[in-house]
Structure 1
Amino acid sequence: MAQGAGEGIRPSLQALNIHRSGDQPVSFYKGKANATGDFPVVKPRKGELYRFEDAQDPDLFTCRGLRRDGRWEFENQRTGRMRRVDEETFCKDRVNGRTVRVSATPKHQIHPLALAEADPDKLTGAELKARKKQEKKLERSRTLLFYCKLFDTTPGITLDKKKVYAFLRKNRAKAREAGFVWVPSYSTLVRALEKGEKGNRSLLQLVQGKYVHDPKKRYLPWVIRLRDEMVSSYWAKKGVNNHRKTDAVAEFVRKFKLESEARVLSGEAAQKLVSYSTLVKWINSGECRESYALRYSQREADRRFRGHGESIKASYPLQYVMIDDTRVDEWVVLLGEDGEVLLVERPWVTIAFDVYSDAVLAAVFTFEPPSVATMAKCIRELNRPKDFLVQRFGDLKAATDCWGMPESVILDNSWDKVSTSFQVLCEAVGINVEYAAIKTPEHKSPVERKFDVWNERLFHRVPGGVPDRPDAARVRKTDPKKDAKLTLGFVRDAFWGLVVTQHHLDICDRTGLAPAVAFRSGLEKLGDRPVVDDFSQLDRFLGATENVILTAEGVSVRGERFHDSAATTALLDRLLKYSAKRDQRTDLLSSGRVPVLATLHPADCGYVDIWDFSKNEQVRLPNIDIKPGESSWFERDQEKKHRKKRQDEYETWDDALVRRAEYNRSLDDAIRNGTFRDARKYARVLEAREARESSTSDKEGETGLIECDSIGSIPMTIPAFERTDDRRKPKAPRRGGNKAAAKSKRTRANNRKAAQQKAQELTAAEEIEYSLPEELLIKDPASMLEQLARERR
């Protein structure tokens, strides 16, 4: 390569992002000061790129110059919007680092390795082609630098097209002597002269600016206008002409042809249609967070462009416990007494998950949808040692020893968890409740991911598993429901086997330890395991709560009466003095009334626990109709419906037993022959019976002892015993918020209007019914009296 006019390849100060003294300084200095003289003047230059730290987005801004009002104007490279900054603010932000100058990164910068000596035999075809391409770019840049320097030293030269072509022809021979064969065009030389300034040009400036064209200069203004309309139309709300990219492109082509034909008729030259791939690239270039939200929704835009927040973190075991429920991807069978399949259904599972260690603390499988009852079962299980796992697997490296009293539970915002009953429940046993952000699954990402893992490892692999979505199952012609063979108890045992033998012993990517090891080591560092003092009292608090009125006849809850003469007398004697006098009946022989809080146990309708706030203890009142352990609340409701259907009433206890036996015989037939919706309900009855029978057998075999290891236990008194108020739950907020309130208000108004209209219609009908015939009406009373007087004479 020729030397002379072309500069050699060497690192320059600009390439190292260090500016010469002629540019704006990188370090801070004291230049001219403003009127106050308290900040340095650091002026931007036209064409420089800046990033403003106080902007909402990290876009780059190009300096367009100084306005007449003394403010600098910067153009957003992405949106084209202007940002105006006064000189004082710019200088202060520049010095303080809030405004940063950005060196433009060339899109076609020559790679230094392309200029080094290399063995052609060791280069592939693509590498050799790229090397030659880079050498050609360098040679043309050096040629442009030669002509630019000659242009600067030529006196009287202008950018007139004829003079520039004459300049190129005159100096072509001189360029060949210097080793430059290629001759640039007029437009190429003019663009090269725009880089740098006279007497201060470098090869790097030409290399960076070479082969980079402004798309707006390639097309006429009306084509750019149609392009902007197409992009804006596609990223607007979905419609007929922008449902797909092909629709938006077709609309652009239609407008382009109409515009082009009109301009050809007016004498302009015909324009070539833009290619399809270019049009699609234009549409894709308009994708950003704002446009995506406009076309789809703000939630989808945030999920696509917004960085996800971190999940909640814990510092020690049982600090945070996530409780979540989902429907199991598995069809299970419900068997009758003779082993016949009564129902095939997908159960629900409620999982308690320790955030610190990734250990599973509880898993409740049930046919009942998520409710306060399932949450109470889950809390009851995570507070107790897993004796059934110890009997089955032994200690197994502490994989069966994950339990304890949680400090806080993290829940989603479903109705069964935000109800006042569940909040009162957790408040009584001393558990803090925190709710995850709405529609933000990443807040509970650990347990959400585990559901997918357990589905893949277990539920999708066994008979009756549901590995595919409904549309994929139709394509594959599979019906997992027909393959269902496993019972709910088998699925529960299989899940715990997976948790104990694999999940608790596999190293967790998040913590770097196996969950069982992390849980045990965390308790050792903590010193003690939080354990509740009285498990029987804990069970009494775990249930649904109702505000009821205690009278001399006990309490009435959901149509059932609970009463024991001695217990009711003692409660009234202690609590009646605290009741408001205005709530009492005025009759001297009437019973006293005391508002109290009752705790219902969904699995057993035979009793309720009444909170005695004078002694801070639970008092149990039995059901006057059934014995404890005989029926659940759901089963009792079904029996009432069955009784109402037969239009029969319980008369004596013997009759009640006969009706119950009759109902039990009809239960299997209802599950077997009834609708699927009714079968789901009746399955919960059988499940509740099995739960009561198993709990009764467990209580008979209990020893009351808990095998403890080297880890001690922290005494956990139930906080309800320390309270001095009546613990009655507050009124729950209206479901649906203001919209539901407005809807109910409109409904009441419409009902009143309809009632008034109906009353008016009835009144009109009565007037018509009781009105006299026309001939019997007295039109002139005076003449009638005169006629009667004459008749008497």
Structure 2
Amino acid sequence: MTTLNLKPGDVYDFPDGRFRFLEEWEDETLWFIKNTGVRLPLSETQLVDMLGAGEAKKIDIFKRSDGRPKSVNDLGEFAPGEEFSPEAIRARTLQFFVRQWDDAKGPTLGRRGLRDFIGSFKHDERLKLLNHPVNPTALYNAIVNCGEPGNRPLRVFRTLRGKMGRKRFRKVVEEALDQAVDFNWSLRPRTHTDAHAFFRDLMTNAGVPPEEFPRRMETLRRRINRTINQNNWARKYSPREATLKFEGVKDSLYAREPLELVIMDHTVIDTFVVFDNEFLLPLGRPTLTVAIDVATRMILGYLISFEPASLHSVLTTLKRVNRNKNYMSKLFPEIEGIWDAWGLPKTLLVDSAWEFKSPSLQDALRDLGTEIIWSPVRTPQYKSVGERFFKNLNDRLFHKMPGGVPAGPTEMRLIDVKPREDAVISLGSLDEIIHEAIVGYHDEFHTGIDDIPAEVWKRRLKSRDVISDINALDHLLGRMARVRLTRRGIRFKHMDFHDQQKTSKLLDDLSRNAKRRDQSSSPVGSARCWGRSNGTRSTQAASRSGTTASSRRASSRCRTGIASSAHYTLSGLMTSRRCKIICSAIASERPVSAACQSNCTPAFWLATA
């Protein structure tokens, strides 16, 4: 048996040509065969002598990871003048690291292991000239594909990029590939398999032989991947999905001072609530409306209601935002800590739903001194501050409570969770739990502001605006309607509000600013002017009356406390979008000032409690 490491298929160059080792017989004869079929018998001694004299040499044939022979660059070692070229330095650097890896026997082929292995040679003197940067992926490919341990010649590390001709398909094949790519991007349900089947049908119909077009799907898959862009993504899926995938994230909302910008958002609570703790009748999942200060992440107020998100939710929450939270010590004495976040916000951000764009809400907030803005349609990430708070409540509170909805219907059915049957939390208990959760949320570190919300609120709050008369909120946050004042007074919701003296004064002062087309063409026709009426539901209970007494009863409920120059009136007041002057011409029996006439749009308000 020979002591030489001979394997069937090894190639040797002899003086008579190139032979391939075939087999070894029992008499220790080594048989080599030529491509022409000529056989060459040699003993081990003869082969050793020929190798020592240089008359024979072994030809290295390297194999790929799948066992197939891999071609080696026939240029051999680098020519004179190429020793320090970028390609030579790259090949020598890879050879150095691969040989070191062969000798080490310890590092793994994982990305982290190879990265640590490369970093261990950071201060090695031998790398002063071998300064080509090597990453774990390139080193892995060199270890696997460039020779084998103990046989790593330099030539196998040379790149063949640009030295090999590319295979080109016929024109009909290229056109079919383009059509298949277009076919893939045309509809959402189509997959790479569908596109490849479409391509093969085109080749069959065109009569192209199988050996002239790519039979595997990999070629088509690579071409499809090279055409991934925003336009094709929008074409296959939707413009919104393309925007979410390719467009950069916009800067988040930012505010420096407390109450500078407040976000109001809504969500359906992931917990079923019962009517009371005695009968445990399930009521459903309520809606939570929350107002959050952007600068400090403090919760300014919230509302739990079974009514979906609406104008009522916004106005009720806004009332709670403007009121202090001193009631907590009486209603919830068990809760430790205080909730000091309240005040008049300067800007309020709400959803773009139609109910939040009503004139009633805009007019009420304008009188309070709060500007309202709307978030873009179908962009929840624009109000990520609110979404994060809802996620925090779900993870820490709602999903862990009896009756919570921790997952979708399919998952809950698999784990046999029935939230409606497990519900035991009443609405009052839930209110107390949310109060306690908010107080704890204020005292915990918030990564969004890199600080504790309660501490930031105390540190940045220099002063806060408040409502002069908190009771005026109930009147100002009402519904607005456009009404007309004539000699007979005002007709609103099929009810007449009239007082002879007050109506005469209002028409004398306001009709001069009304549009001429609204006035009667007759010299004795009634003077008219349009205005806005702020009415609430109690107005509907009022009865028609033309007497002074009934007018006084209706108008005695009118209250205002917004501007510093405001006066309490008996029957009406005048305001405008451009100025906050509240005229009390009727109450004080003084004419409307010239400044008010020139700057204000005529408007008549009827506010009832």
> Which residue in the other structure is 1:354 paired with?
293
Aligned partner (choices 242, 252, 269) of residue 328 of structure 1: 269
Cα deviation 1:267-293 (Å, max 9, x = unaligned) = xx8447522444434433332211111
Equivalent residues in 2 for 1:363-762 (5 A)?
363-391=302-330, 399-473=338-412, 478-501=417-440, 503-523=441-461, 527-550=462-485, 555-559=490-494, 561=495, 563=497, 568-569=499-500, 571-577=502-508, 578-579=510-511, 580=514, 595-601=530-536, 619=569, 719=580, 721=582, 725-726=600-601, 728=603
Q: When you count helix as a share of all residues, which structure comes out higher?
A: 1
Instruction: Quote the offset at 1:541 in angstroms.
Output: 1.2
| TM-score where L is the length of structure 1 | 0.50
Indicate if the aligned counterparts of 1:412 and 1:436 stay in contact, CA closer than 8 A: yes
The farther-off stretch of 409-418 and 601-610 is 601-610
> Which residue in the other structure is 2:124 paired with?
none
Indicate if the aligned counterparts of 1:249 and 1:279 stay in contact, CA closer than 8 A: yes
Cα distance in structure 2, aligned partners of 1:485 and 1:125: 56
Indicate if the aligned counterparts of 1:6 and 1:142 stay in contact, CA closer than 8 A: no
Instruction: Quote the offset at 1:295 in angstroms.
Output: 0.8
Cα distance in structure 1, aligned partners of 2:78 and 2:215: 44
Cα distance in structure 1, aligned partners of 2:384 and 2:204: 52
Cα deviation 1:316-366 (Å, max 9, x = unaligned) = 11111111222223333446xx97677723322221110001111010122
> Which residue in the other structure is 1:254 paired with?
201
Aligned partner (choices 235, 248, 253) of residue 312 of structure 1: 253
> Which residue in the other structure is 2:79 paired with?
5
1:230 paired with 2:180, answer: yes
Secondary structure at the counterpart of residue 318 of structure 2: helix
Instruction: Quote the offset at 1:387 in angstroms.
Output: 1.8
Instruction: Quote the offset at 1:414 in angstroms.
Output: 0.7
> Which residue in the other structure is 2:104 paired with?
120
Q: Judging changes above 3 Å, is the alpha-carbon distance between structure 1 residues 231 and 129 closer, same or farther for their aligned structure 2 residues?
A: closer
Indicate if the aligned counterparts of 2:282 and 2:423 stay in contact, CA closer than 8 A: no
Cα distance in structure 2, aligned partners of 1:224 and 1:109: 39
Q: Judging changes above 3 Å, is the alpha-carbon distance between structure 1 residues 378 and 107 closer, same or farther for their aligned structure 2 residues?
A: farther
Cα distance in structure 1, aligned partners of 2:239 and 2:359: 31
Q: Judging changes above 3 Å, is the alpha-carbon distance between structure 1 residues 330 and 213 closer, same or farther for their aligned structure 2 residues?
A: farther
Q: Judging changes above 3 Å, is the alpha-carbon distance between structure 1 residues 511 and 14 closer, same or farther for their aligned structure 2 residues?
A: farther
Indicate if the aligned counterparts of 1:322 and 1:447 stay in contact, CA closer than 8 A: yes
> Which residue in the other structure is 1:84 paired with?
none
Q: Judging changes above 3 Å, is the alpha-carbon distance between structure 1 residues 118 and 243 closer, same or farther for their aligned structure 2 residues?
A: closer
Cα distance in structure 1, aligned partners of 2:299 and 2:78: 77
Aligned residues: 463
Cα distance in structure 2, aligned partners of 1:290 and 1:530: 49
Cα distance in structure 1, aligned partners of 2:92 and 2:250: 37
Secondary structure at the counterpart of residue 362 of structure 2: helix
Secondary structure at the counterpart of residue 529 of structure 1: coil
Cα distance in structure 1, aligned partners of 2:406 and 2:304: 19
Q: Judging changes above 3 Å, is the alpha-carbon distance between structure 1 residues 619 and 298 closer, same or farther for their aligned structure 2 residues?
A: same
Indicate if the aligned counterparts of 2:95 and 2:152 stay in contact, CA closer than 8 A: no
Structure 1 residues not aligned, in runs of 5+:
17-105, 144-181, 183-205, 623-717, 730-793
Indicate if the aligned counterparts of 1:109 and 1:207 stay in contact, CA closer than 8 A: no
The farther-off stretch of 610-619 and 418-427 is 610-619
Q: Judging changes above 3 Å, is the alpha-carbon distance between structure 1 residues 401 and 555 closer, same or farther for their aligned structure 2 residues?
A: same
Secondary structure at the counterpart of residue 324 of structure 2: coil
Instruction: Quote the offset at 1:368 in angstroms.
Output: 2.5
Alignment identity in percent? 25
Indicate if the aligned counterparts of 2:267 and 2:287 stay in contact, CA closer than 8 A: yes
Indicate if the aligned counterparts of 1:323 and 1:410 stay in contact, CA closer than 8 A: yes
What amino acid is the match of 2:224?
I
Q: Judging changes above 3 Å, is the alpha-carbon distance between structure 1 residues 315 and 536 closer, same or farther for their aligned structure 2 residues?
A: same
Q: Judging changes above 3 Å, is the alpha-carbon distance between structure 1 residues 132 and 327 closer, same or farther for their aligned structure 2 residues?
A: closer
Structure 2 residues not aligned, in runs of 5+:
1-75, 115-138, 542-553, 573-578, 584-595, 605-609
Indicate if the aligned counterparts of 2:350 and 2:356 stay in contact, CA closer than 8 A: yes
Cα distance in structure 2, aligned partners of 1:290 and 1:411: 31
Cα distance in structure 2, aligned partners of 1:346 and 1:728: 42
Indicate if the aligned counterparts of 1:599 and 1:610 stay in contact, CA closer than 8 A: no
| TM-score where L is the length of structure 2 | 0.64
Indicate if the aligned counterparts of 1:540 and 1:618 stay in contact, CA closer than 8 A: no
Indicate if the aligned counterparts of 1:372 and 1:543 stay in contact, CA closer than 8 A: no
What amino acid is the match of 2:443?
L
RMSD: 4.6
What amino acid is the match of 1:113?
F
Cα distance in structure 1, aligned partners of 2:356 and 2:458: 30
> Which residue in the other structure is 2:51 paired with?
none
1:217 paired with 2:167, answer: yes
What amino acid is the match of 1:516?
A
Indicate if the aligned counterparts of 2:282 and 2:420 stay in contact, CA closer than 8 A: no
Indicate if the aligned counterparts of 2:91 and 2:158 stay in contact, CA closer than 8 A: no
Equivalent residues in 2 for 1:162-177 (5 A)?
none
What amino acid is the match of 1:245?
H
What amino acid is the match of 2:199?
F
What amino acid is the match of 2:436?
G
Instruction: Quote the offset at 1:584 in angstroms.
Output: 6.7
Secondary structure at the counterpart of residue 316 of structure 1: coil
Q: Judging changes above 3 Å, is the alpha-carbon distance between structure 1 residues 388 and 14 closer, same or farther for their aligned structure 2 residues?
A: farther
